[in-house]
Structure 1
Amino acid sequence: MLLHSRRTWLVAGLALGLAAPAQAEVSLTRGATSIPDGEATAADDLTIANDHLAFSLAVESQPPWGVPRGTLVDLAAVKDGEMDLDRVAFADFIPNNWSAWPNSEKEVMILEDSPERAIVQVRRNWGDAWVITTYRLDAGSDRIRLETEMENGGDEALTAIRSGFTLWPDTGFLFGVPGLGDAKETVADEALTDRMVAYDRDWVIALHAPYFDRVNYEGQDMYLEHDLAPGERRVFKGSLQVVPKGDLAPVVANEIERKDQPAGRISGSLTNDDGEAPQDGLVMVEQQGHPYAWTLAEDGRFAMDLPAGDYQVYATGLGHANSAPREIRVAADGEQTLDFAGLEGPGTLALDVVESGSDLPRDARLTILEGQQPAVEFLGKQTFFTDLDPAGSAKLSLAPGDYRLAVNAGAGFTAEGETLEVSLESGERLARTVEIDRLAEPNARGWYGADLHHHANILEGTTPPETVVSAQLATDLDLTFVSDHDSTANHEAFQALSDSRGVPFIPSIEISPSWGHMNPFPIALGGELMVDPGTDEVQDIIQDARRLGAEVIPMNHPHNDYGYLSNLAGDKVPGGFTPNFDLLELNAEVDNAKTLESAHALWDEGTAIYFTAGTDTHDAWNDLTGRIRMMARVPGELSPRAFARALKDGHGYATQGPLLYPQNVLFGDTLRLAGDEPATWHVDVAAVDGLAEARLLGRGGEVLATRELDGKQATLAFPLDAEIDGWVALEVEDADGDQAWSNPVWIKRQDRTAYVSAAGE
């Protein structure tokens, strides 16, 4: 149950930071956090620490994504009495997935502040419900104990809501719930345990959530689906565990302890083919064919406790081949020794990607399709990019073995994907060249593409600016773009990197209230918001975006749980409806059917709100940048503002691959016809993966005509008979099922007298 004794706020003047080497004692301080890179910077924020970890609560600082104040925004290991870097964007209790969080009340209470423990309680409302979270840190503990009581204070039942604790790192890698793989959203029926982990070489943070029955975002959200009747209460318990190195042995030991499981121990040694301890050597433990945990082999030695049961284990290291797997059975209170010798070290692949016929370098994305792919990501990735300088070149250090690599240099848009097969031996150096046939030249017709929703390494984004630029150029985008959540900190880096390659950069920011995100662009380089996305009204936020110089304001993923249109329908948007946005986003991460319907409805009314498109990529290694993009027709010199103005005028289309070239009338323009005067709309279409079908749409999204297509190019001619009025738009599908969606061509029909008069004027 929740604690009910209460203390008043600490008096002013408490010393900031971790008092001396704190040994096992707990400290609680008020003020800007002393956790390096921490976001809790206000005078009333709280930092709690012991000799294992430190965390901060944003009592007055603004948390990300419009989450109400009172959340945990900083979390770090303490190593030898010193606080390590903050590793999280936030960790909080979410009452119903990522839906809007209407909030008007907050109370933060210190329930205990002693050398033995600190306990802080945060009480916030979620509409008519109450969310009361208690944070407890004990002396000598590596875990923050979490307990949330959720109470329905309203008159209506809350049904099928998904509530639970979350952990969103702002760096490192994710190791989701064992057994569930990397599924973005799934039920927990196949889960082997009840924790997820964020990690890197020198730290681990684990979220233990024994109540959960499903996950979202690869386990960063651990939810229970439940109902809550009026007056009903439900308690959720969990913990956040911090380990000062990239080792999961303490996490598994925690599980064994809290579940009182019978357990045994494995231990042993690792050596490479030179008889030495391999760099970053570790032992991976699998259960039922799924990665379960790993332990580091420091100086070639390892030891780990495991719950009693059957496992498969193998040894590996940075750039080293995996050892042969071993089947083991761990018995209660049993011990066994496992020695792994002769791990083979890495080889090097030097790769150049060039355009066939000209040998000009091509930026490319390189992905291991077959071959060793480390399950622990600090040992190596499965995706690489060619260098920005020299362009088109890459040197890959790979474990010895046979590989098949995918080479993507505009694949699916301007070129076909290529593959490369190589075999590497330990210590070998290979050089290979891959030629790319460029099959489409949209720039030659004045068409340019950009991925207009992309993150770098702010908050939960994990991709450095240099890698984002590499990823965007590798998929043959013509402008670079970044829209970090509520931050412009990466603008200058993007501008410099883009300038070095002679590519225009579109500076943006994803303004992120919980009721609807938006990407205004282009904005002033490094411009800062003067509004609070967590509390201010939509009209004020849009006005501030215009102050920053935004030519267009798109509403991102408008129909998901944190989309403007869905929350407008639920009356959860402060300020309600505004007509002062310009674009609706087609987003690679969501079902866009409702967005298409909304666009069609707006066009039926004659409202000129057009498409934007973006991938919403946060991790460019694991997600494909540019897989949906916005193409715009820009006459003359290409610049960020000219590109944005083209989209504002409707001179664009969203595509997953097919390319569209309207001839006699451009998307967004008006075709004026007299009475029943016949007209024909001509559009050239192309798809490097082959064309399949084109559909002409009209009012209400009705399919007015369909064309079955074959080959890679076609010219479409759609008669616009007298019954067609209002607008028409085009959808084109390629042989892989990838689509393109155009903005409308407006059709205005007048009687002949009026038409002649208008033409004369």
Structure 2
Amino acid sequence: MISSRFAISSFASAPLVAAVVLASGAAQADVSVTRGPTAIPDGEAGHAEDLTIANDHLAFSLAVESLPPWGVPRGTLVDLAAVKDGEMDLDRVAFADFIPDNWSAWPNDGKQVRVVEQSPERAVIEVARNFADAMVTTTYTLEKGSDRVHLVTELDNRGDDPLAAIRSGYTLWPDTGYLFGVPGLGDAEETEASDALTDRMVAYDRDWAFALHAPYFDRISYQGQDMYLEHSLAPGETRRFEGWLQVVPSGDLAAVVANEIERKGLPSGRVHGQVEGDDGQSPPDALVMIEREGAPYAWTLAEGGEYSLSLPVGEYRAYATAQGHSNSDTVDLDVTEGGDQTLDFDGLKGPGTLELSIKEAGSGVARDARLTLLEGQEPPVEFLGKKTFFTELDPAGQASLALAPGDYRFAINAGAGFTASQQSLEVSLASGETKQQDVSIDRLVEPNDENWYGADLHHHANILEGTTPPEVVVRAQLATDLDLTFVSDHDATTNHARFKQLSDARGVPFIASIEVSPSWGHLNPFPIDFEGELKVDPGTAPVQDVLAEARRLGAQVIPMNHPYNAYGYLRNLADGKVPGGFSPGFDLLELNAAVDNAETIAAAHRLWDQGTEIYFTAGTDTHDAWNDLTGRIRMMARVPGELTPDAFARALKAGHGYATEGPLLFPQDHGFGERLRLVEEGVGSWTVRAFAVDGLKEARLVGAEGEVVERRSLEGQNDTRLTFDVPGEQTTWVALEVEDVDGDTAWSNPLWIERREMQDYVGDSTD
């Protein structure tokens, strides 16, 4: 067993200021190793034993004793920054590490950290941690004058059993900026790498770019943030992985491509030229986009209108663009070995402005809305602009969009698919033109009139890998017609005060939560105290302590998030990877928009068969509200009286709710979570009104063991009353599943069936 004692070879503990401002002149490129709280601005490595390694290009910190995110064992890289003009820029990452088997639980009880080499020319740090009976040993090497950290990991199976079909590799998770996934693989959440045009992904913004080069990978997850090799490892077998973390001090990928050329020894040629607008001037933020085999491959900035980059030999297409400007014509580009081509772009036209006002038909009340570009010029690089927009919080229903001139079609979502139909807006803009457009939204149903309210109960803001500021999260949640705002950042409550302020300004209740994130299972206790702070270590605490901490924070309900994915509680419980094993101290099981929920639904049915009152919750797990649809699954709860976070949570704990992707349900006689009392083997009835904006397809009455008791075709109607006979002798509960014509589904909590003998009813006319 590896000792958990911190082991480190002797080195100088340089003054803290040495890590902030590097020496000038000839010594500027020297490599430094500093022990103690990191000097990287906004860095998370805050312990006296943590390490920061730097040269004149970059700095990174290892959390030797600080708590890494997501329950990952200590010893991981938690801070990474560019060094610009001798000063460290902001930390831009949540985490970068080697993951032994996807995001599965990481059983770990020891680590060893060694400074293998420290000199002005080079620093070599070795981090060894166990993954159950396997060892994960990663070496970080930073050399003088280099813009990249060399990574080598040995995964050694020291156990008696094989590690079969595991997915291992390096990950890079930024906590700000944008993602440019592996060229050729698009925005795939998870896919094999057979169509990859190269072997790197990039996190970036206007003034920085971090590239993860991973030549071993054969598949990706999370748009390339995880670059894995699927493999097995026999007892006694060791596999070696190699990669590089490259840091660029601007959002220019020319250096990233140059690194690929050097690393692989590729023949290459150079392309350079100028970019101009139709006024003869260079637009700000101009860049040249390079495509290969029809997919974005790289871009380079046109600083002062001039650009230059080297490319591997091959055929490409290229065009220029700039923020709010039209694209240039796309041209073919044939790069030959040693070639040096001049390629100029001109005629880029400046933006027009679209002013939008979204109102409810009839009443004229302003409506919050999400505006998504369906057709028209999309910014190819996200710091040039978005393809999704939201109306303002104040004034509500208003949006002003600066767009490149051209023809556009937008989708207008103000509760689309739930309470209203999606609207479409077509508009043409000329350069310099301002155009006003009014959009009218027809509200087709009013759940609030029957005391039904909805919330997206799994949503992130801008902590760790979340990239959406609180104001935008609130705008996104109101835009999809949610009735309460909600945030559950990983292991942090930092954003609660701001969410409360924004929500109060709009008169909307705010549910404060936190996603407690052990590697064996995530949970979203709510509502919790606004100023509460997590005091348990998710990386080491047993489940009982984690649940007790959630209650200490004031939670009325504790949901288990995505219970069956790689970092879900029920999956890891079945695999024996949960410290403390099973605990009955949770209340809800999450239906999550990002995963297949079939196993979770089946688990709920098994619990209901046993009479266990654990009910559904639902959330999207949105981290980027511009690129993910907030509220696409939501939890509806019936709350008579004042709508408050506590009242909403109490309703869910009592089962008075349902999860939905669109269809809306209104029980008419017996509510979800309530009891239907039947005499002996009698038959009862249950009536539920069902509504779907897009038309209803089918209703399924489900009973014991998840068997469908009755299936009813609804033939596309929008609004209907469903009355079912409930045979008490066949089941102890029934639940309703309603699907619309688009395949969106609502899943109810159960109606419990309680059978009594006839004498129990003598003189009781109420039953």
TM-score, with length taken from structure 1: 0.98
Counterpart residue number, 1:675:
680
1:240 partner amino acid: L
1:40-61 per-residue CA deviation (whole Å, 9 max, x = no partner) reads 0011000011100000000000
1:8 aligns to what SS in structure 2? coil
CA shift in 2, pair 1:209/1:753, >3 Å: same
Whole-Å Cα distance in 2 between the matches of residues 732 and 229 of structure 1? 47
1:470 aligns to what SS in structure 2? helix
Counterpart residue number, 1:10:
11
Contact 1:424 / 1:430 at 8 angstroms: preserved in 2? yes
Structure 1 residue 148, shift from structure 2 partner: 0.2
Match of 1:245 among 246, 250, 269: 250
Structure 1 residue 674, shift from structure 2 partner: 1.4
Q: Does 1:628 align with 2:633?
A: yes
1:375-430 per-residue CA deviation (whole Å, 9 max, x = no partner) reads 10001111000000000000000011000000000000000000000001111110
Aligned ranges 1:98-113 → 2 under 5 Å: 98-113=103-118
Q: Does 1:72 align with 2:77?
A: yes
Q: Does 1:212 align with 2:212?
A: no
CA shift in 2, pair 1:107/1:14, >3 Å: farther
Match of 2:417 among 398, 412, 416: 412
Counterpart residue number, 1:289:
294
1:707-737 per-residue CA deviation (whole Å, 9 max, x = no partner) reads 1113110001001124233100000001111
2:260 aligns to what SS in structure 1? helix
Aligned ranges 1:394-413 → 2 under 5 Å: 394-413=399-418
Percent identity for Structure 1 against Structure 2 = 68
Counterpart residue number, 2:389:
384
1:155 partner amino acid: D
Structure 1 residue 755, shift from structure 2 partner: 4.2
Q: Does 1:589 align with 2:590?
A: no
Whole-Å Cα distance in 2 between the matches of residues 725 and 402 of structure 1? 58
Aligned ranges 1:509-520 → 2 under 5 Å: 509-520=514-525
Aligned ranges 1:485-564 → 2 under 5 Å: 485-564=490-569
Contact 2:453 / 2:482 at 8 angstroms: preserved in 1? yes
Structure 1 residue 601, shift from structure 2 partner: 0.1
Whole-Å Cα distance in 1 between the matches of residues 565 and 765 of structure 2? 45
Match of 1:327 among 329, 332, 340: 332
Contact 2:72 / 2:519 at 8 angstroms: preserved in 1? yes
Aligned ranges 1:270-669 → 2 under 5 Å: 270-669=275-674
1:96 aligns to what SS in structure 2? coil
Match of 2:755 among 749, 753, 758: 749
Structure 1 residue 294, shift from structure 2 partner: 0.2
Structure 1 residue 679, shift from structure 2 partner: 1.6
Contact 1:7 / 1:112 at 8 angstroms: preserved in 2? no
Structure 1 residue 10, shift from structure 2 partner: 3.3
Counterpart residue number, 2:730:
724
Contact 2:699 / 2:739 at 8 angstroms: preserved in 1? yes
Structure 1 residue 11, shift from structure 2 partner: 5.6
1:754 aligns to what SS in structure 2? helix
1:588 partner amino acid: A
Whole-Å Cα distance in 1 between the matches of residues 761 and 545 of structure 2? 42
Contact 2:682 / 2:729 at 8 angstroms: preserved in 1? no
Counterpart residue number, 2:719:
713
1:166 aligns to what SS in structure 2? strand
1:732 aligns to what SS in structure 2? strand
Whole-Å Cα distance in 1 between the matches of residues 662 and 417 of structure 2? 5
CA shift in 2, pair 1:125/1:384, >3 Å: same
Structure 1 residue 595, shift from structure 2 partner: 0.2
Q: Does 1:37 align with 2:37?
A: no
Structure 1 residue 754, shift from structure 2 partner: 3.4
1:452 partner amino acid: L
1:458 aligns to what SS in structure 2? coil
1:20 partner amino acid: A
2:344 aligns to what SS in structure 1? strand
1:537-588 per-residue CA deviation (whole Å, 9 max, x = no partner) reads 0000100110010000000000010000000000000000000100000000
Contact 2:699 / 2:711 at 8 angstroms: preserved in 1? yes
Q: Does 1:20 align with 2:26?
A: no
1:467 aligns to what SS in structure 2? helix
Counterpart residue number, 1:184:
189
1:505-536 per-residue CA deviation (whole Å, 9 max, x = no partner) reads 00000000000000000000031011000000
2:522 partner amino acid: H
Contact 1:673 / 1:755 at 8 angstroms: preserved in 2? no
Whole-Å Cα distance in 1 between the matches of residues 561 and 728 of structure 2? 36
Q: Does 1:158 align with 2:173?
A: no
Contact 1:725 / 1:748 at 8 angstroms: preserved in 2? no
Structure 1 residue 671, shift from structure 2 partner: 1.3
Contact 2:272 / 2:341 at 8 angstroms: preserved in 1? yes
Whole-Å Cα distance in 2 between the matches of residues 506 and 454 of structure 1? 11
Whole-Å Cα distance in 2 between the matches of residues 758 and 702 of structure 1? 33
Structure 1 residue 13, shift from structure 2 partner: 6.4
Whole-Å Cα distance in 1 between the matches of residues 174 and 419 of structure 2? 35
CA shift in 2, pair 1:12/1:573, >3 Å: same
Whole-Å Cα distance in 2 between the matches of residues 369 and 116 of structure 1? 52
Whole-Å Cα distance in 1 between the matches of residues 683 and 344 of structure 2? 82
Structure 1 residue 677, shift from structure 2 partner: 3.0
Counterpart residue number, 1:172:
177
2:158 partner amino acid: G
Aligned ranges 1:217-228 → 2 under 5 Å: 217-228=222-233
2:623 partner amino acid: H
Counterpart residue number, 2:270:
265
Contact 2:50 / 2:65 at 8 angstroms: preserved in 1? yes
1:100 partner amino acid: A
1:122 partner amino acid: V
1:730 partner amino acid: L
CA shift in 2, pair 1:453/1:9, >3 Å: farther
Counterpart residue number, 1:3:
none
Structure 1 residue 316, shift from structure 2 partner: 0.4
2:458 aligns to what SS in structure 1? coil
Whole-Å Cα distance in 2 between the matches of residues 737 and 463 of structure 1? 29
Contact 1:216 / 1:222 at 8 angstroms: preserved in 2? yes
Q: Which consecutive unaligned segments of at least 5 residues does structure 1 have?
A: 1-5
Contact 1:403 / 1:422 at 8 angstroms: preserved in 2? yes
1:188-230 per-residue CA deviation (whole Å, 9 max, x = no partner) reads 0000000000000000000000111110000000001111000
1:435 aligns to what SS in structure 2? strand
Contact 2:16 / 2:39 at 8 angstroms: preserved in 1? no
Structure 1 residue 504, shift from structure 2 partner: 0.2
Whole-Å Cα distance in 1 between the matches of residues 763 and 119 of structure 2? 86
Match of 1:126 among 122, 126, 131: 131
Whole-Å Cα distance in 2 between the matches of residues 649 and 191 of structure 1? 49
Q: Which consecutive unaligned segments of at least 5 residues does structure 2 have?
A: 1-6
Whole-Å Cα distance in 1 between the matches of residues 15 and 422 of structure 2? 60
Count matched residues: 756
Whole-Å Cα distance in 2 between the matches of residues 760 and 470 of structure 1? 46
Match of 1:737 among 728, 743, 748: 743
Match of 2:57 among 42, 52, 56: 52
Whole-Å Cα distance in 2 between the matches of residues 755 and 122 of structure 1? 70
Contact 2:521 / 2:568 at 8 angstroms: preserved in 1? yes
Q: Does 1:200 align with 2:201?
A: no
1:101-140 per-residue CA deviation (whole Å, 9 max, x = no partner) reads 0001100000011111111000000000000000010011
